[in-house]
């Protein structure tokens, strides 16, 4: 088991190196001169020169890479070419809303997704199964930003139950915070639950056809025990895998959701800096989010070891 864990952790290193190389190359992939692009259409040659020097784009490529890699490893992720703020400052200022949203959205997605997925599999072919499948199909097909728009229009603009946009910190006003994250959480939860439902339904369905389930039923166990103690546990691996997907869905969802609801979080930061082509921030955010995603998938892989004894062998 220790060998498996070590092997899995070591496997992450080349992936992170690749992520670093790709992130670094981003500025150099730009057609023409990245400094020109960042300076915009109205900049003079002096502005471009300043940006080029600021980012070290006038140095040889390998020196630039080593400089960048060294800084990144030391935790210096660069600073915005517009506001001058460091990535650390920007990220720490904007982390709160994103954590609130993604944690709440993730929990809601699991709370809706797993029970509905199990129900659909248990009542395979019934009206319940069909209704849940329609829900899941709609959940993966309806774009999040459009659903967000409808939620704002229906519940915030027309009924005035929730604020239309913005975010209130929980330390400032707890109930205001609940009201401000309800709609975004609902949006993330609905979209996320669709993926979980499909995965849970498929894996529980497969397990329910196994011999040991027939044996459990034959020896007279209550259906509840068969379902939750035998079937759900055996289908845990694919369901845990989906949490990796959910992490990606939530990161992506945060960018869209925070833009729809104008919430000043990390997702909105990504969207804003991409629009203004603030490359140092775009690079760092790409690196950080990819590292986070790789980390979540590593944890998911390690979680298998505890759930499924076969992986330990």
Which residues bind to another protein, rule: CB under 8 A? 14-15, 18-19, 22, 26-27, 29-31, 34, 37, 124, 137-138, 140-146, 149-150, 152-153, 157, 164, 198-199, 201-202, 205-206, 238, 248, 251-252, 255-256, 259-260, 270-271, 274-275, 277, 279, 282-283, 285-286, 289-290, 293-294, 297
> For another protein, which is the closer residue by CB, 41 or 172?
41
Query: Minimum Å distance from CB 58 to another protein?
Result: 19
Token reading at 8 = 């899995």
> For another protein, which is the closer residue by CB, 100 or 191?
191
- Report the C-alpha gap between 111 and 253 in whole angstroms: 18
> For another protein, which is the closer residue by CB, 166 or 309?
166
Query: Minimum Å distance from CB 219 to another protein?
Result: 27
Cα 65-69-75 angle, rounded to 5 deg: 150
Cα-based distances in Å from 76 to 17, 83, 101, 276, 293: 17, 17, 27, 22, 20
Query: Minimum Å distance from CB 162 to another protein?
Result: 13
Query: Minimum Å distance from CB 172 to another protein?
Result: 25
Query: Minimum Å distance from CB 169 to another protein?
Result: 25
> For another protein, which is the closer residue by CB, 106 or 144?
144
- Report the C-alpha gap between 116 and 235 in whole angstroms: 14
Considering Cα of 185, then 190, then 195, then 196, what sign does the dihedral take?
Answer: positive
- Report the C-alpha gap between 102 and 97 in whole angstroms: 9
> For another protein, which is the closer residue by CB, 221 or 298?
298
Cα-based distances in Å from 117 to 45, 140, 156, 196, 217: 59, 15, 30, 7, 20
> For another protein, which is the closer residue by CB, 95 or 150?
150
- Report the C-alpha gap between 118 and 109 in whole angstroms: 14
Query: Minimum Å distance from CB 248 to another protein?
Result: 4
């Amino acid at each position: 088991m220790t060998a498996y864990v070590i092997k899995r952790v070591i496997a992450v290193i080349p992936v992170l190196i690749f992520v670093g190389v790709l992130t670094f190359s981003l500025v150099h992939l730009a057609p023409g001169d990245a400094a020109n692009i960042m300076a915009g259409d109205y900049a003079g040659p002096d502005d471009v020169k300043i940006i080029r020097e600021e980012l070290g784009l006038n140095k040889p490529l390998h020196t630039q890479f080593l400089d960048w890699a060294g800084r990144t490893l030391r935790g210096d992720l660069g600073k915005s070419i517009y506001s001058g703020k460091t990535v650390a400052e920007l990220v720490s200022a904007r982390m709160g809303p994103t954590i609130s949203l993604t944690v709440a959205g993730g929990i809601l997605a699991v709370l809706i997704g797993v029970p509905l997925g199990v129900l659909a599999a248990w009542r395979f072919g019934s009206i319940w199964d069909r209704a849940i499948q329609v829900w899941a199909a709609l959940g993966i097909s309806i774009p999040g930003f459009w659903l967000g728009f409808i939620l704002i229009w229906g519940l915030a603009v027309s009924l005035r139950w929730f604020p239309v946009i913005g975010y209130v910190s929980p330390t400032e006003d707890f109930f205001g915070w609940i009201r401000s994250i309800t709609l975004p959480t609902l949006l993330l939860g609905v979209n996320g639950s669709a993926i979980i439902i499909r995965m849970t339904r498929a894996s529980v369905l497969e397990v329910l056809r196994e011999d040991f389930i027939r044996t459990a039923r034959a020896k007279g166990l209550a259906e509840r025990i068969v379902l939750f103690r035998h079937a759900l546990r055996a289908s845990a691996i694919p369901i845990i895998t989906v949490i990796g997907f959910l992490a990606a869905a939530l990161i992506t969802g945060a960018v869209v959701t925070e833009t729809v609801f104008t919430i000043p979080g990390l997702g909105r930061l990504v969207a804003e800096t991409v629009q203004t082509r603030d490359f140092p921030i775009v690079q760092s955010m790409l690196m950080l989010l990819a590292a986070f995603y790789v980390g979540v998938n590593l944890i998911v892989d390690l979680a298998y070891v505890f759930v499924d004894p076969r992986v330990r062998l």
